[in-house]
Amino acid sequence: MRAQDFTRALRSYFGFDEFREGQRAVIQAVMSGRDCLAVMPTGGGKSLCFQLPAALRPGVTLVISPLIALMKDQVDSLQSTGIRATFVNSSLGMAEQGRRLGDLAAARYDLVYVAPERFRSPRFLEAVVGAGVDLFAVDEAHCVSMWGHDFRPDYLQLADALQRLGQPQVLCLTATATPEVREDIVAQLALGVAPRQAPEVVVRGFARPSLTLSVSKVRGQKDKLARVRGLVAEHRTGIVYCATRKSVEKVSGWLASEGVRCAGYHAGMGDDRRRRTQELFVCGEVDMVVATNAFGMGIDRADLRLIVHWDVPGSLEAYYQEAGRAGRDGEPAHCELLYNYADVRTQEFFIEGSNPSPELVRSLGAEVLRLCGSGPDPVPQGAVLAAVSSGRRANEMALSTGLGVLDRLGVIRRISEPGGGPVGLRPGPAASELAEMDLGFLLEKAERDRSRLRRLLRFVSTRECRHATILRYFGEDGATGVCGNRCDCCLRRSGAARLGGTEPSEGQWVEIQKALSAVARLGGRFGQTRVAQALAGSRDQALLRAGLHRSSIYGLLESKSIGAIRALLCALEDAGCVEAVGEEYPTIRLTEHGARVMRRQASVTLDWATMEPAAAHPGGGAGARETRARGEARSGSGDRPRASLAAAGPLAQELRSWRKARADAAGKPAFTVFSDATLLEIASKRPASDADLLAVRGIGPAKLAAYGEELLAIVRKH
């Protein structure tokens, strides 16, 4: 097909006039018959790269995705455009699964979503083989790679499935694959095997200039809650990501008590409750969701203005995937990571749980063999876990992961009842080979996971442009040194006008010089708290044991509280005069710029209004200043004004109510009818004819036929 034909098809099926960055290149590769690996960030429009070809090509496009909860919404949306789509997953009864598999074999579908665990079923595989799969699309393809940040053993079955299907054309899509992981995906799924051409690898669109990336150092829960309060008040809609279920419950409860329309979401909740939370959020009935990383993939809500990481994520891949869910409409959005080194321990625990030792894996396998003996009956999984953990300190998560490793190696087989989870274990075909197996890959994966966490911590502490750091990490060309003041690091470097500071008075200059002199004389041996205590003349026992009460800097700022001095030191760190060194027990030292400021050979501007004891937490003053700076920058930057249905006038409000009624009647989320952006454009342009409606982004012929008459009637009323 010619390039203009792709654009016409895009308009016809989806109502869009132009492709996003990278989409055309991927679609051209797919339509030419080449295998393709597409790496595009969250919100980059990966789904369109298999949805449009599915509408244009003969045969079936099989989409492998772990997002079971979202499949129905995606299918509803596709069906509204005229594409014959369905899904097959565990949410369906056996009879309905059988009916859909029969329709698949009869070529009644253009596109079918399935979860990777479906390939455990020989019946399913037989049905798919008979259907003649034309395109095998693997969503979240980083799950194939053991070196990816979210490896899932079920994805390893896909290579065998491709062989059974006759090695059809493959399209892999992911938002978070480093060059190393990309190579592994190509190898695992045999992309471009002879006689086919080498695969097309498209890495595009990682630059997200509409996102402001920021890190705030916080001392604990109280600081985090205060920071989140301010962020939610300013940005209104978004997601707060927490590392644990306990944190989700606590933070969501706290926000609800503050009057915020919010809900919690984590894997420990029932299916109905999770589904309800997702629907409320997508439809705009809830402004904020507090969630673990189980929430967010595939969420089609473009107006998210805020992403907060309550805890440190485990990798830059996870961080950027989650941060990228903000601002998918291209409007400015804020992404803030709240950093406390104590939270790193949570991620270290997860790494331990995701990487059982070779010795633990061998013990699990041996216990299955011992308990099963020569009998045919499976042994309860709980009995194996209890026997291996007895008498040893074992991470429960590591035990479960170890069973997954053994299943993947063929040493054991999990026996499940229809519709239920694993209920028993029995030896697999490779059980006798366990003693000779080389399990060194487990140690290698553990080290790679720790390395990813270290890279994330370097990102937290960097003073370089955060956007450029991320582009380099993912291997996208064109990483620059600055981002146009869309990260806290570049905002600090840009000067006082953006940070909202003022030149110090003579009295304030004296305080600055005393504080910097103390940092210099202590030679980088103490942390911020100890330096502040010494300057305040504290009688803290740890300070006295360190002999700081005998130092010449002791009591230099005794008229100020320790909290106010810490706030001053934080502001000086933000201004580049002081830097923190180390991670678990960071100390502070003077920078070259700080030495010049101390001698009054260079100027410095600080926001003195924030330096009150209540604002003394690290990052508090900086966060407030950056918030003001972003507001000032937006007002004169030429950014498109923000708009929302709630504030766009009576026509937009009536369109929103109409959309909700249509969605409720069909039993599907509102966004599958029309997005907020489409309704806002209708309210703005006030179309008077079918042709006018087709000119609105997001309206194609199928949606015109379904909704056009009603839309025009609503517009005429206004």
**Residue 476 covered by a domain:** no
> Domain containing 271 — which CATH number?
3.40.50.300
| 229 & 262 share domain | yes
Pair 104, 111: CB distance under 8 Å? no
Other beta carbons less than 10 A from residue 600's beta carbon: 11
Question: What would the pLDDT profile of 44-77 be if each residue is shown by its tens digit?
Answer: 788 999 999 999 998 899 999 987 877 888 898 8
| 197 & 246 share domain | no
Confidence bin at 323 (pLDDT 50/70/90): very high
| 332 & 219 share domain | yes
* Domain termination site, one of 187, 203, 219: 203
**Residue 629 covered by a domain:** yes
Full DSSP string of 687-702: --SHHHHHTSTT--HH
pLDDT number for residue 417? 59
Q: Total structural domains in the chain?
A: 5
How many whole angstroms separate alpha carbon 188 and alpha carbon 184?
6
- Inter-helix orientation angle 466-473/440-461, to 10°: 160
Tell me phi and psi for residue 97, to 5 degrees: -60, -45
Question: What would the pLDDT profile of 165-220 be if each residue is shown by its tens digit?
Answer: 989 999 999 987 888 889 999 999 999 887 788 899 998 767 888 899 999 888 78
* Domain termination site, one of 289, 310, 339: 339
What is the rounded average pLDDT of the residues 134-141?
94
User: Taking the complete model, does pTM exceed 0.75, yes or no?
Assistant: no
Question: What would the pLDDT profile of 205-239 be if each residue is shown by its tens digit?
Answer: 678 888 999 998 887 888 899 899 889 988 989 99
Question: What would the pLDDT profile of 590-611 be if each residue is shown by its tens digit?
Answer: 988 899 999 999 888 776 655 5
Confidence bin at 637 (pLDDT 50/70/90): very low
Q: Which residue has the higher pLDDT, 658 or 695?
A: 658
| 52 & 168 share domain | yes
In the chain, pLDDT over 90 holds for what percent of residues?
35
**Residue 462 covered by a domain:** no
Structure token pair of residue 214: 């920021």
| 398 & 295 share domain | no
**Residue 593 covered by a domain:** yes
**Residue 456 covered by a domain:** no
**Residue 464 covered by a domain:** no
**Residues in the chain, overall count:** 718
Question: What would the pLDDT profile of 327-363 be if each residue is shown by its tens digit?
Answer: 877 788 999 999 988 889 999 999 999 899 999 999 9
| 371 & 330 share domain | no
| 121 & 37 share domain | yes
pLDDT number for residue 421? 55
**Residue 487 covered by a domain:** no
> Domain containing 396 — which CATH number?
1.10.10.10
| 528 & 556 share domain | yes
pLDDT exceeds 90 at position 310: yes
How many whole angstroms separate alpha carbon 171 and alpha carbon 158?
13
Other beta carbons less than 10 A from residue 585's beta carbon: 9
pLDDT number for residue 306? 95
pLDDT number for residue 480? 57
| 251 & 183 share domain | no
In the chain, pLDDT over 70 holds for what percent of residues?
88
pLDDT number for residue 629? 35
Contacts of 711 (CB under 8 A, 6+ apart): 655, 682, 687, 693
* Domain termination site, one of 599, 634, 669: 634
* Structural domain that includes position 674: 645-717
| 555 & 630 share domain | yes
Structure token pair of residue 633: 């920058």
| 516 & 626 share domain | yes
**Residue 481 covered by a domain:** no
> Domain containing 673 — which CATH number?
1.10.150.80
pLDDT number for residue 294? 67
**Cis upstream peptide for 427 (omega within 30°):** no
pLDDT number for residue 621? 35
Question: What would the pLDDT profile of 474-533 be if each residue is shown by its tens digit?
Answer: 877 655 555 777 888 887 766 533 344 567 889 999 999 999 999 999 999 998 889 999
Average pLDDT, the chain: 83
Question: What would the pLDDT profile of 370-410 be if each residue is shown by its tens digit?
Answer: 888 756 678 888 888 888 887 777 788 899 889 988 988 88
pLDDT number for residue 373? 73
| 595 & 670 share domain | no
DSSP 8-class letter at 54: H
